[in-house]
Amino acid sequence: MQLNTKTTLFAISIATSMLLILVAVSLVSFRQFSIVTAKERAETAAEVVLVGLTELMVNGVIQNRGNFLKRLTTIQDLKSVRVMRGPKVIEQYGSGEAYESAHDSIDEKVIASGEPYFGVIDEWGDPIFRATLPYNVNTGNITPACSTCHAVPEGTTLGAITMTFSIANQKGDVLVTVGVMTLVIALFGLMVVIFMRRLTRPLIETANHVQTLVTNALDGQFTAQPVRRVSDDEIGQIATDMNKLMSFLSSGLNNIRGSIAQLIQFTPTSHDTNLLNSTMGMVHALIETSHFKLAIEEDETKREVYCRLARTIREDFYIRFFSLYEINPAKNSIVAINVDGEEGGECRWCHPQILIRSEACRARRTGHLIDSVQHPLICPSFNPGEDDERLQHICIPVIQSGTVGSIVQLVVDQSKPESYEAVLPYVKLYLREASPVIEAKRLMDTLRESTLRDAMTGLHNRRFLEEYVDTLIANADRNKKDVAILMLDLDYFKKVNDTYGHDVGDTVLKELSKVLRSAVRSSDMVIRYGGEEFVIILTDLHGGNGDEVAEKIRAAVEEMKIQVPGAVLRKTISIGAATYPKDGDTFWQVIKFADVALYRAKEEGRNRVVHFSKEMWDEGQEY
């Protein structure tokens, strides 16, 4: 209910209540006044009748009492009057006329008790006041005394008189008076209502304007029509202050949103009509992004960063289909890091050619955001399949060290553009925060990898073996698989350096590294142990001890031809083999046993494979 209506109803209620109370009080008061007046008139008339009857009796003309009583009815409003004899009078003078006997129980009660009766009765809608008064013997100074004619003791009831008076005229006067009072009070109440409405109009109008302004503010609209100042009192000051507050909030929120939008490189869209929600959303996004950055900075590897980013896209932005790609510039290829929340998933939303030729990816090639919702068929490599024609993609390149290092592909339903327009700026914000962290993790991985690889041959070095050995043995023990260890050394390599120089020696080692890598599986490890000495670790052996692979390597090296200035070199290699855990209880013990077998191969003439046996080891030696 509106305040204006409440105020009017309140004023009307007060006026009506006052009017009803006053009318009720007036009616009761006038009724009591009429009764008191009628009572006094009845007592006066009764006294007149007593005096008149006494005179008639004294004068001996008591037989004229009927006419006397009739003349009394000519008095205004006196409708009837009758006198009744009591038992003592009847006993002394007889019952008299018929009308002089008790007519009803009230008459009898008054004659018997000597107490008067007064009451109001309704006679055909006409209010009648009835008074029945007793005539009691009184021997005081009244002359003539009752005992003169009646031989009865004092206090005896000689009879009673009953009179009825009409109070209709008084009732009419009362109604007219009450009507006039009611009209006056009603006019006064109307004036009060009008006055209160005029008095509260500025308050109500200002309150309505404030309500509209607050409602618009809750909807993010701070530029609505200002509150009109309708008075110069406190209400007017409230309107002025409210307008100042709305202006301050609008200016402040616009400045905050503008600064945050500039900070996060976000342009508000046509859907951002709610200034308050838009600003709160951007502030919340900044907070969440800050937490996200703190989390990924503490992650150990870039793989963990990619996993956290994929989880954020899927769970926080509710994007079901997406791909995270990483660029490998050395191989001109792209690696699928995460597809639809599956780590290392297969390329699903693009043609597989981008994996081997990164230029086929438009985002990779241009470094620009690719939006096929706005520009259909912009990238021919997008391949959603025949059943997903409604789907389009947005590819966001992540710039790292000036080039595209990663690509985030969002697959969206083109029929619901608002589903991605609202989250795209925040996804880009997350990617901007993640980009330097991913680049730092990548550089750390590269730096770490460089310390674990031999710079010349590209093979892992001895330090890598030392770091990896615990994982290697743990996997072998858990899977109950043997691990073959081959220790290799080129025969007479020192002569190459002495004869052709170290450059040719380096060439020989590089060619040998290629032969070794091609002779084993990708799951096996080839390690440059030091100088011309190499270690090959064959994992997941299903029976056997690796001697067949060692013989294959020996034969391949023997067939190797190395072109050097002025000559073609051919070299041989000696190999010592041992198996964990068959030949030793610890990995490093088996490494030592493989080295013992290598020296036995050299002693037996080189260019051969020798597997370790227990008789090769002197129990007194230490390792």
Report, as residue numbers or ranges, the catalytic residues. 532
* Residue 557 · residue 512 · CB < 8 Å: yes
606 close to 574: Cβ distance less than 8 angstroms: yes
CA distance 553 to 599: 18
**For residues 56 and 72, is the Cβ–Cβ distance under 8 A?**
no
Question: What is the token pair recorded at 144?
Answer: 């003539």
- The rounded Cα 550 to chain-centroid distance in angstroms is 68
Cα(321)–Cα(561) distance, rounded to whole angstroms? 52
Task: Give, in order, the Cα–Cα distances in Å from 362 to each of 37, 178, 216, 380.
Answer: 114, 97, 45, 9
CA gap 513, 528 in Å, rounded? 9
Report CA 613 to chain centroid distance, whole Å.
74
Residue 315 per-residue DSSP state = I
Q: What is the DSSP letter of 456?
A: T
Residue 1's identity, in one-letter code, is M
Q: Cα separation of 461 and 451, whole Å? A: 8
CB atoms within 10 A of CB 382: 22
Closest residue by Cα to residue 83 from 154, 155, 134, 29: 134
Exposure string of 228-266, with b = 16+ CB inside 10 Å and e = fewer, is ebbeeeebbebbeebbeebeeebeebeeebeebbeebeb
How many angstroms from the chain centroid is the CA of residue 506?
69
**99 CB-contact burial (10 Å; exposed 0-12 / middle 13-18 / buried 19+):** exposed
Cα–Cα distances (Å) from 99 to 55, 103, 158, 159, 355, in that order, read 20, 8, 16, 12, 135
Write the DSSP assignment of 111-158 as a string of letters: HHH---EEEEEEETTEEEEEEEEEEE---SS-SS-GGGT----TT-EE
E strands present in 444-523: 460-461, 482-490
Nearest-5° angle of CA 247, CA 248, CA 249? 90
Location of structure tokens 């003791």: 153
